[in-house]
Structure formats: C-alpha cells, structure tokens
Amino acid sequence: MHIHIFWDSGSPEGLQMPVARKISAVLGVPSSVSENHVRMMGYVVGRRQIDAQALLDSVQTYKHRHGISDPVLLVVNQDLFRNGNSFVFGLARQVVGAAVVSTARLGNEYYGRPADDDDLIDRITKEGAHEVGHLLGLDHCENGECIMFRPDTLDELDRKKKMLCPACSASLAEHLAGE
C-alpha cells in the first residue's frame, strides 16, 4: 500500500515533502507527492467555497480512469464545505479511497495571526493523516489528542498530537494486516 498525495498548484509551495514524510510517519504507510491532475469540481460562487463531496467525485473519477487502487489525498487551497457544515478542514470517502484537505483555514493568516510554516505543516499533517486514516479503515476517536479525533475548531486541531492513540494504532495494524 502507498498513499498518493496530489498537491494542487494553489496550495502553499515547499511544504509538500515535510507533510508527506510526517503523514507517513504517523500512519506507518509510505507516501509520495505529485502535482494535482484532478479536475477541480464543485465550486459554488455564492459561497466562494468548493463542495467537498463534488470534489471527491472528481478524485474518484480520476482514480478509476488511471487505475489507482491506493489511497489518494488531494491537498487544495480553496475553502471546502459539505451539506450540513459551513466549512470542513477535510473530508474522506473510504469506499473509494479518496480524501481532500483544504489549507484555506489551516494557516495562521486566516485568523489574523502571523504566518508560520511550521504551524501550517503541523496542521496539514494532522488533517491529512486524519482523512487518510479514514481511508485505511479508522473511525473517529473520542481521545482529543489522537489523530483520529474530529476537530471542529483550529484550537481542537492544534491540541491533537501527530500520533494515533493505542486503540486506533491497534485498529490500524489490524486493517493493514488484513489487506
């Protein structure tokens, strides 16, 4: 198994490799980064956001056309939403092995704070590993420090550690062993 990370051209440059290495370290699965070739679908002009479900449809189509069976994580700069949520940091569709993460609300600048690449790498890593964790069979976790905890705010995301709790780690090992 291998995690394909597609980095969209609008996403912050120079962070691809540190994020990929850290996601691999958290999940114990090798990854690679390449330029995004997935068609960006689902932009809603009135919201100035992309419908994450529509974007995952595009990733699913791309995977099918190119015979990709491994998990794909798409990193985009555009703000995402899904029905029922005014925004989402990311979203996964386990059944097709596709996930998307937006950097739009992960940077300090969005909150009026000074830019910090280390903070941004940390947050993209946590959200990316979380979404890929779903693709690998993991559910949300109640442990607020576990990578599989579902954050609703940036502060909750920042409190998470870049690691799985013991229960989620054991669950991932079972899922990976059953491939």
Interacting residues of 167 by C-beta distance below 8 A, sequence separation 6+: 141, 143
Half-sphere exposure of 47 (CA within 13 A, CB side): 16
Catalytic option among 35, 127, 131, 156: 131
Respond yes or no: is residue 145 known to be catalytic. no
CA 27-29-30 angle, 5° bins:
130
Q: Are 66 and 98 in contact (CB under 8 A)?
A: no
Half-sphere exposure of 171 (CA within 13 A, CB side): 16
What CA dihedral angle connects 114, 121, 69 and 26, to 10 degrees?
-140
Distance from C-alpha of 14 to C-alpha of 106, rounded to nearest angstrom: 16
Residue 31 DSSP class: E
Name the residues annotated as catalytic.
131
